[in-house]
Amino acid sequence: MEDHNVNALAEFFGRLYDRWQDEKEYEDFADYREAFDRSLVWRNGKLVKMTASPFRVEFTSGDFRFDMKATAKAVTVDRVPIGGPAKPPRLPLKPNRLPLK
């Protein structure tokens, strides 16, 4: 996903957050999830999960997974390659080799 699309989604997500803060007593959060999902469709994105508290969305696009979080101060975006770097292999544990007394 191109940066200008990510920026547009982050701006939209921030507006959804602001509205949710005003309307959470009266509106269904599923409507917010649906609105964000629709905004992903034409950007070739796929919604993975969206939560109200914390106000957060995870989605995929191309070879990346995105994690957006909104607060009253900012919207943050993390982009991680799908499959990411491999975890280092676990080393076998060695028994404690303290001298016996």
Please write the tens of the pLDDT for every residue from 31-79.
999 999 999 988 889 999 999 999 999 999 988 999 999 999 999 999 9
Q: In this structure, is residue 69 part of a structural domain?
A: yes
Number of domains in the chain: 1
Show the domain range for 39: 3-81
pLDDT of residue 86: 52
Q: In this structure, is residue 89 part of a structural domain?
A: no
List pLDDT tens digits, range 75-98.
999 998 887 655 555 444 444 444
Number of CB atoms found within 10 A of residue 96's CB:
5
| Gap between the Cα atoms of 30 and 33, Å rounded | 5
Q: In this structure, is residue 73 part of a structural domain?
A: yes
Q: In this structure, is residue 97 part of a structural domain?
A: no
